[in-house]
Structure 1
Amino acid sequence: MPVGLLYQAIFDLSVTMSATQHSSVAVAENATRAVLRQPRLLVRETLAGVVTALALIPEVISFSVIAGVDPKVSLIASVVLCLAMSFLGGRPAMVTAAAGSVALVIGPMVHQHGVQYILPAVVLAGMIQILFGVLGMARLMRFIPTAVMTGFVNALGILIFFAQVPHFWGKSPLIWGLFVLTLLIVLWVPRFIKAIPAPLIAIVLLTVFTVTSGQLLPTVGDEGSMSGGLPGFTQLLVPLNLQTLAIIWPCALSIAFVGLMESLLTARLVDDLTVTPSNKNRESAGLGIANILAGFYGGIAGCAMIGQTIVNVEMGKGRSRVSTVAAGLVLLLLVTGLSEVMAEIPMSVLAGIMVIVAVKTFSWHSIQPATLRKLPITETLVMLMTVAATVSTGNLAIGVVAGVIAMLILPRIVRGKRATTSETALPDREK
């Protein structure tokens, strides 16, 4: 089978590039070889990749708007990220692309200083992630408290939601109508159609409606170029000096930390779903290399995407690197062949999709009364402080650091107050 031979050749090249193999990686490579030898499994993995690629398009375009870059560039960068991590990553079947958490971090720098600083910032972030992987520091991420991780996820959902508000709030009734229709389609269609991602159905139906009806609405094409073909390598347009370093290093450090944390969080989720191990240090180093490659294509950095990974693993039953290779290749085909069509997608439709993403990202279980009653008060406070610090600064990395500091300090304060209360409550035996 020609497709199988192509996958086998690419896979063998990636194995040759890896100097060392851990037990978890060996398990993954054996699983990939098994897929390549069995046509039935190969078809399943390839179809999982097709569905995943379709699910990637609306979110990547929306995140590019948040970051302030052309949608076409983010889509191509996502192709690079997805393919590179298929070979270099430590967690097979995990989908990596231009993600919302990274877009939220890099967006303020782009809006303040310009897109010319993306390349050095992304390359520096990639170098930091490679260093984390080589030194084995990625394993330290598991010590981040659960309350902080919950606060991180909740803050991410809140920031994604508010980033969509300008696309529908205070707009015309038609834009509001498309926004509400998008919400209804994405929420209700999965009850009847499971083979095709509901966001894709919403995009196709509502884009066809706006084009055929001749309505003039803000579209993806208004946010940046969607011309056909592949972009060339991005040239460095800023001087490499201390002034540039002062601009990019806070952003680069945040990209490295936030991207790595979300990737390792997603990897742990896939480990549990598939009952297979992953190599966290390889994931960190591979993500760094993939981000550097994406940066040279002008794209923002990326990390694992929880929603699309769930689509690949749960809906598509993807279990090997073949599924993400297929996703990257299909996404490349769609971007190069249908870019002019994607330019006609209304922004209000994408806003509706991203609002659903924000709602699903938020951990509603964490704020239910039953959950709050079971948890220690310190964990609830840490979660709330992580959310507050993130939303107030707009920086996920700052929020996580604030949450970790709060986790170190608050339990001592609470214990101190309890001790003081106990001493005050003791009866005076001398009376």
Structure 2
Amino acid sequence: MIGNPSALRVEILAGMVTALALIPETISFSILAGVGPGVGLFTSIVFAMAIAITGGRPAMVSAAAGSVALVVAPLVHDHGVEYLIATVLLAGALQIVLARCGVASLLRFIPKSVLTGFVNALAILIFTAQLPHLIDVPWPVYVLVSAGLVIMVVLPRFTNAVPAALVATVLLTLVAVVFSIDVPRVEDEGDPRGGLAGIGLPGVELSWRTLGIIAPYAVGVAFVGLIETLLTAKLVDDITGTPSNHRRESWGQGIANIATGLFGGMGGCAMIGQTMMNVKTCHARTRISVFVAGLVLLCLVTVLGPVLATIPMAALVAVMIAVSAATADWGSLRPSTLRRTPIAETVAMLLTVAVTVWTHNLAIGVFVGVACAGIVWMYRTRSRAGSALEPAV
């Protein structure tokens, strides 16, 4: 790579574009998790640079992600950021243990119906999390959100060279600033540069009570992060024609989570949208692009912090609504698909969605969905075995 200037240039440019694409969604996911925008931005910086070194799927982008944010949001609301940090550290340790046990390979056997329910539930939760930003707000917010959605839908039909989320965020910020539109902004949620203060351990009591609080969330972060990461890795495998090292990727995700936890971050996992931009649009193929993305993002946050603070929340809401729409597997909901799909698989998918939305916990939803699919499989196996043992008349 170093001896090939042309390939190196592709990787560096891909990393720069990916860094820009990370900004709007990372800030949105920070707010979704209940932490300041700076926490998510610096989490993405540390996570991207760590996974670039330790991960098992070159060119796959990992950073502060929506699925992890949804898992930890109730914890932050009820117990605060210090418990979040402890949770991320424990989740990272669990992922390392799971990698050693080869659980990453087992996750590939999760039924497709459950995975479909997982992504559909994720889409619903991301969308519903935006509703508080659309209730009892000034009317210009609705105009800006509508304009942002139009950009997010129309621009990709003409070009994918520039991230639609980035264009929407920049244009809506310019409009809000130039015309002095009084709407909620990122600075109302916190300082984009006020993220990681330094390396250290969380300020929580080391006790069984603390473990009882953080353990369910840590298990959720570990499993949800690995599921989304392996789903994304499969997409990259198909595009590049090269296999992922699932065990190393799981181990790397654990190391990256521990690194972000030590710096006070919110944890993360692979990001499908940014990965597709890095691999498919920018043609990146190595770890260099991901490391450069983290490095460039660090420079952008350090230099452009005051500018990021002026971004209207309406722009981020528009981005997140578009993300939720892109996340959903609309094909699974078509009447023609539902008619062809066995009723047991449809029930497993719908049950995964229902439990996830009800509990606001992706891990619980997946567990219930897998349990449902397992019960159906055992029933079918037992029925076939019984039929085979019946004497012929």
Shorter-normalised TM-score: what interval? over 0.9
Task: Give me the whole-angstrom Cα distance separating, in 2, the residues matched to 1:229 and 1:364.
Answer: 36
Please say if 1:62 is aligned against 2:21: no
Task: Give me the whole-angstrom Cα distance separating, in 1, the residues matched to 2:195 and 2:210.
Answer: 31
Q: Is the 8 A contact 1:228 1:337 kept in 2?
A: no
Q: Cα distance, 1:318 vs. partner?
A: 0.8
Residue 241 of structure 2, aligned match among 275, 280, 288: 275
Task: Give me the whole-angstrom Cα distance separating, in 2, the residues matched to 1:195 and 1:203.
Answer: 16
**Bigger Cα displacement from structure 2, 366-375 vs 244-253:** 366-375
Task: Give me the whole-angstrom Cα distance separating, in 2, the residues matched to 1:135 and 1:37.
Answer: 38
Which residue pairs with 1:212 in the alignment?
A: 178
Task: Give me the whole-angstrom Cα distance separating, in 2, the residues matched to 1:414 and 1:84.
Answer: 45
**Bigger Cα displacement from structure 2, 404-413 vs 324-333:** 404-413
Where in structure 1 are there 5+ consecutive unaligned residues?
1-34, 420-431
Please say if 1:294 is aligned against 2:294: no
Task: Give me the whole-angstrom Cα distance separating, in 2, the residues matched to 1:228 and 1:256.
Answer: 26
Task: Give me the whole-angstrom Cα distance separating, in 2, the residues matched to 1:64 and 1:58.
Answer: 10
Task: Give me the whole-angstrom Cα distance separating, in 2, the residues matched to 1:261 and 1:62.
Answer: 21
TM-score normalised by L of structure 1: 0.86
Which residue pairs with 1:369 in the alignment?
A: 335
Paired positions, count? 386
Please say if 1:391 is aligned against 2:391: no
Which residue pairs with 1:167 in the alignment?
A: 133
Residue 105 of structure 1, aligned match among 62, 65, 71: 71
Please say if 1:87 is aligned against 2:80: no
Please list, as runs of the form range in 1=range in 2, the aligned pairs for 1:145-224 lying within 5 A after superposition.
145-224=111-190
**Bigger Cα displacement from structure 2, 253-262 vs 364-373:** 364-373
User: Which letter does structure 2 place at the counterpart of 1:42?
Assistant: L
Q: Is the 8 A contact 2:36 2:195 kept in 1?
A: no
User: Which letter does structure 2 place at the counterpart of 1:171?
Assistant: V
Bigger Cα Rg: 1
User: Which letter does structure 1 place at the counterpart of 2:234?
Assistant: R
User: Which letter does structure 1 place at the counterpart of 2:299?
Assistant: L
Q: Cα distance, 1:36 vs. partner?
A: 2.2
Q: Deviations over 1:299-355 (max 9, x none)?
A: 111000011111111110111111111111111111111011001111111001100
Task: Give me the whole-angstrom Cα distance separating, in 2, the residues matched to 1:257 and 1:140.
Answer: 12
**Bigger Cα displacement from structure 2, 187-196 vs 351-360:** 187-196
Please say if 1:347 is aligned against 2:313: yes
User: Which letter does structure 1 place at the counterpart of 2:24?
Assistant: P
Where in structure 2 are there 5+ consecutive unaligned residues?
386-393
Q: Cα distance, 1:291 vs. partner?
A: 0.4
Alignment CA distance shift 1:415-1:279 (3 Å): closer
Q: Is the 8 A contact 1:228 1:339 kept in 2?
A: no
Task: Give me the whole-angstrom Cα distance separating, in 2, the residues matched to 1:64 and 1:227.
Answer: 13
Which residue pairs with 1:7 in the alignment?
A: none
Q: Is the 8 A contact 2:38 2:196 kept in 1?
A: no
Q: Is the 8 A contact 2:37 2:195 kept in 1?
A: no
Which residue pairs with 1:5 in the alignment?
A: none
Q: Is the 8 A contact 1:125 1:253 kept in 2?
A: yes
Task: Give me the whole-angstrom Cα distance separating, in 2, the residues matched to 1:411 and 1:131.
Answer: 28
Which residue pairs with 2:388 in the alignment?
A: none
User: Which letter does structure 2 place at the counterpart of 1:358?
Assistant: S
**Bigger Cα displacement from structure 2, 409-418 vs 294-303:** 409-418
Q: Cα distance, 1:416 vs. partner?
A: 9.0
Alignment CA distance shift 1:36-1:374 (3 Å): farther
User: Which letter does structure 1 place at the counterpart of 2:21?
Assistant: A
User: Which letter does structure 2 place at the counterpart of 1:399?
Assistant: G
Please say if 1:315 is aligned against 2:281: yes
User: Which letter does structure 2 place at the counterpart of 1:140?
Assistant: L
Q: Deviations over 1:247-280 (max 9, x none)?
A: 1111111101110111111111111111101110
Task: Give me the whole-angstrom Cα distance separating, in 1, the residues matched to 2:332 and 2:262.
Answer: 39
Which residue pairs with 1:382 in the alignment?
A: 348
Task: Give me the whole-angstrom Cα distance separating, in 1, the residues matched to 2:111 and 2:89.
Answer: 29
Which residue pairs with 1:72 in the alignment?
A: 38
Which residue pairs with 1:117 in the alignment?
A: 83
TM-score normalised by L of structure 2: 0.94
Structure 1 runs, 4 residues or longer, greater than 6 Å off: 414-419
Task: Give me the whole-angstrom Cα distance separating, in 1, the residues matched to 2:194 and 2:136.
Answer: 33
Q: Cα distance, 1:165 vs. partner?
A: 1.2
Which residue pairs with 1:238 in the alignment?
A: 204
